[in-house]
A and B are shown apart, each in its own frame.
Chain A
Amino acid sequence: MSETLLERESEHPQTVVEDHPSGRRIVALDSARWVDERNRDRDVVVPASYVGVLPARMMAVHRPRGVIGHDACVGKDGAGIAGLWYLEALGIPAATADGMSAEMGNGADLWEHGVISRVNYPAERCGVAPGMAVADAARLLRDVDPADVEVGNKIRREVMEEGPQGRRIVVTDSIVWAYPEDAGRSVLVTAGHTGRSGASFLLEADPWGFICHDGGMSKNRSGITGLQTTAAHGLPGATIDGTSSPIGDAFAAWEIGRISACNEPAAALGVAVGMTVREAARKLLHGERP
């Protein structure tokens, strides 16, 4: 088999946009294919490529310190950002810029004008957040050592609002991260599905109320069967519409999610289909269970 163009290519144009006394650099490139051994461990690379799995593979073999690419407007099946998850598994912090904030194939424009849209967990831990300028994000990745990069479980959990009698709204990605103190007290906004395996966790956690994901509803509406199981125990709950917010990200659901279904006890507290997740969580928080 003859060699591909990629294998025959010898020129890898890189522009060092910032040097630093630490020896770490920020390097802008028109393409992820031009990341190479020069970048290993020390450089934050800023390539104006989409961050799909394919470009992620090409960059990962050279282990740059961090990666900021382009989200290509995310696209079908999230293919424009799928490489973020590949890089996360290898402990490499990575983010993408909003597709309309920077030109594709133009590293200098990405560096100067890009605005962050998506981040992986190690980049989040470095302080990178959506809405930040690419240049600021790149400096964070240069200066901050990513923590908690080992493969495995990562807990994201935050108390969002307080309510009567010590009650509160807790946003956490999975119901399995419920604490004993959530029992009878917290409205848990989580983002796993509400099928039968989710329902057993809900009964065990026994929160004041819950909002979980509908898992795209799925065969025989099995993604929400937990609503009935919990109703039988008087536990009010609702599900997040899978077309409104990504599964697995409770913080996204808190921002953009909508309700697709709820059980009787939740309806009695004023929760309704079509409501925002935030609104529904507040109904559960302030409502008095019989």
Chain B
Amino acid sequence: MSEQAVVHEGPRGRIVAVDSAYDTRAENRGRDVVVNASYCGVLPARFVAEHAPRGAIGVDCGIGPEGAGIAGLWYLEALGIPAATADVDTVRLGDGVDMHANARISRLNAVAEACGVRAGMPVAEAARLLLEVDPAPAAAAEVTRRQVVHVAPDGGQVVCTDSIAFGLEEDRGRNVLCTAGHTGRSAVPYLRRVAPKGFVCSDGGGGRDGSGMAGLAIVEADGLAGATVDARSARMGDGMSTWEDGVVSARNALAARAGVEVGMTAREAAVLLLEARPEKEGSGA
């Protein structure tokens, strides 16, 4: 076990930089933010969690197959520990002090987000936020991550939110929702009740018999235009990723009429859906 380098000290605790997650100690409990140059998988997260520091920042190690380099973020989130990872290309693995001084944040859990940490931020700044901000506890149903990302001249919006179940009354017939659950049959009742102007959801990786996008055809009868993004292109459960990273894998006939095509970015598709004229005014084509 090697030394902990104290890189900042304040009334609420310290920011300590360590070379390995294994160097987290009992004295860090509830007080210190531990910046460690380990990957942030479940295994190192278990070590960190054993001593429940105030916050933790690890390395994403390129995220890797199945997100194994960042999977510990979700383990720590469940325990209420704010955590983030640094982009591996900005990090010298195993050098905690360098990481604190030079690296930038790539990914974070919902608790760290509530502290104000954002992707792209320097690790030093993120660590200060984790030290100084008490994240407000949020019930599961409150973590909707709703965000307006585009507004049309008529006031219609493209809204990102993590699940179609987070749709609001104001979305009905007016907004395009970019959400991140699959579009199988269980999504249909939600799509019908929210009845947005258009929607872009995940295809859930396809699933057997194309069941992850089966809802597209079903809701056509309700006049709903929609598309799915390939779950390999955008993270499920992250509506902003649908908008920023998504590539369209399928769309229904109503979305096709609005110009949405397979292979298009979700961004283009969402804006087309927002700008589409209602069917009844839709010219004599």
Check A9/B237 contact, CB under 8 A, given A153-B47, A247-B61.
no
Asked whether any CB of chain A lies closer than 8 Å to the CB of B120, the reply is: no
Check A99/B206 contact, CB under 8 A, given A75-B232, A78-B66.
yes
Q: How far is the CA of A31 from the CA of B163 in the complex (A)?
A: 12
B205 near A245 with CB under 8 A, answer: no
Check A5/B67 contact, CB under 8 A, given A70-B207, A72-B236.
no
B181 CB contact (under 8 Å) in A49, A176, A191, A243 = A49
A82 near B67 with CB under 8 A, answer: yes
Asked whether any CB of chain B lies closer than 8 Å to the CB of A186, the reply is: no
B44 near A79 with CB under 8 A, answer: no
B236 near A85 with CB under 8 A, answer: no
Q: How far is the CA of A71 from the CA of B74 in the complex (A)?
A: 16
Asked whether any CB of chain B lies closer than 8 Å to the CB of A15, the reply is: no
Asked whether any CB of chain A lies closer than 8 Å to the CB of B75, the reply is: yes
Please indicate the chain B residues that have their CB under 8 angstroms from the CB of A10 in the complex.
none
A243 CB contact (under 8 Å) in B47, B64, B71, B163 = B64
A76 near B65 with CB under 8 A, answer: no
A242 near B64 with CB under 8 A, answer: yes
Check A6/B165 contact, CB under 8 A, given A76-B232, A218-B61, A242-B64.
yes
A6 CB contact (under 8 Å) in B47, B141, B206 = B141
A105 CB contact (under 8 Å) in B59, B90, B107, B211 = B211
Q: How far is the CA of A113 from the CA of B68 in the complex (A)?
A: 27
> Which chain B residues in 131-175 approach chain A with CB under 8 Å?
139-141, 143-144, 162-170
Q: How far is the CA of A7 from the CA of B141 in the complex (A)?
A: 7
Check A4/B166 contact, CB under 8 A, given A71-B205, A222-B94, A223-B93.
yes
Please indicate the chain A residues that have their CB under 8 angstroms from the CB of B2 in the complex.
197, 200
Please indicate the chain A residues that have their CB under 8 angstroms from the CB of B180 in the complex.
52, 54
Asked whether any CB of chain A lies closer than 8 Å to the CB of B268, the reply is: no
> Which chain B residues in 54-97 approach chain A with CB under 8 Å?
59, 61-72, 74-79, 88-95
A53 CB contact (under 8 Å) in B74, B79, B91 = B74
Expressed in whole angstroms, the minimum distance between the Cβ of B157 and any Cβ of chain A is 15
Expressed in whole angstroms, the minimum distance between the Cβ of B202 and any Cβ of chain A is 8
A152 CB contact (under 8 Å) in B47, B65, B143 = B47
A100 near B79 with CB under 8 A, answer: no
Q: How many of chain A's residues touch chain B, expressed as a range?
A: 35 or more
Please indicate the chain A residues that have their CB under 8 angstroms from the CB of B212 in the complex.
72, 99, 104-105
Please indicate the chain A residues that have their CB under 8 angstroms from the CB of B65 in the complex.
78, 242-246
Check A30/B186 contact, CB under 8 A, given A5-B165, A6-B165.
yes
Is chain A's interface secondary structure helix, strand, loop, or mixed overall? loop
Using CB atoms, name the residue of chain A closest to B194. A5
Please indicate the chain A residues that have their CB under 8 angstroms from the CB of B185 in the complex.
30, 103-106
Expressed in whole angstroms, the minimum distance between the Cβ of A148 and any Cβ of chain B is 11
A192 near B167 with CB under 8 A, answer: no
Q: How far is the CA of A209 from the CA of B186 in the complex (A)?
A: 51
Asked whether any CB of chain A lies closer than 8 Å to the CB of B257, the reply is: no
Q: How many of chain B's residues touch chain A, expressed as a range?
A: 35 or more
Expressed in whole angstroms, the minimum distance between the Cβ of B170 and any Cβ of chain A is 7
Check A75/B231 contact, CB under 8 A, given A52-B236, A80-B205, A247-B39.
yes
The segment from A86-94, A130-138, A276-284 found at the interface with B is A86-94
> Which chain A residues in 102-140 approach chain B with CB under 8 Å?
102-106, 109, 113, 118, 121
The segment from A36-44, A57-65, A267-275 found at the interface with B is A57-65
Q: How far is the CA of A88 from the CA of B49 in the complex (A)?
A: 12
Q: How far is the CA of A234 from the CA of B19 in the complex (A)?
A: 24
Asked whether any CB of chain B lies closer than 8 Å to the CB of A217, the reply is: yes
Expressed in whole angstroms, the minimum distance between the Cβ of B192 and any Cβ of chain A is 10
Asked whether any CB of chain B lies closer than 8 Å to the CB of A196, the reply is: yes
Q: How far is the CA of A113 from the CA of B77 in the complex (A)?
A: 32
Most A CB contacts (10 A, CB to CB) among B2, B50, B182, B212 go to: B182
Please indicate the chain A residues that have their CB under 8 angstroms from the CB of B44 in the complex.
192, 248
Q: How far is the CA of A136 from the CA of B250 in the complex (A)?
A: 34
Check A195/B94 contact, CB under 8 A, given A7-B141, A85-B42.
yes
Q: How far is the CA of A85 from the CA of B43 in the complex (A)?
A: 10
Most B CB contacts (10 A, CB to CB) among A74, A104, A199 go to: A104
Asked whether any CB of chain A lies closer than 8 Å to the CB of B245, the reply is: yes
Using CB atoms, name the residue of chain B closest to A71. B205
A79 near B235 with CB under 8 A, answer: yes
Q: How far is the CA of A105 from the CA of B163 in the complex (A)?
A: 14
A76 near B140 with CB under 8 A, answer: no
Asked whether any CB of chain B lies closer than 8 Å to the CB of A210, the reply is: no
Asked whether any CB of chain A lies closer than 8 Å to the CB of B238, the reply is: yes
Q: How far is the CA of A83 from the CA of B66 in the complex (A)?
A: 12
Q: How far is the CA of A7 from the CA of B167 in the complex (A)?
A: 10
The 7 closest A-B pairs by CB, nearest first: A73-B205, A216-B62, A78-B67, A105-B184, A246-B68, A195-B93, A195-B94
**13 further interface pairs, Cβ-Cβ under 8 Å (given A77-B235, A222-B93):** A50-B181, A50-B204, A50-B237, A55-B237, A60-B78, A70-B204, A72-B202, A83-B74, A103-B207, A176-B22, A218-B59, A218-B91, A219-B88
10 contacts between A and B (CB under 8 A): A53-B237, A71-B205, A73-B231, A82-B74, A89-B79, A103-B185, A118-B66, A151-B50, A151-B52, A246-B69
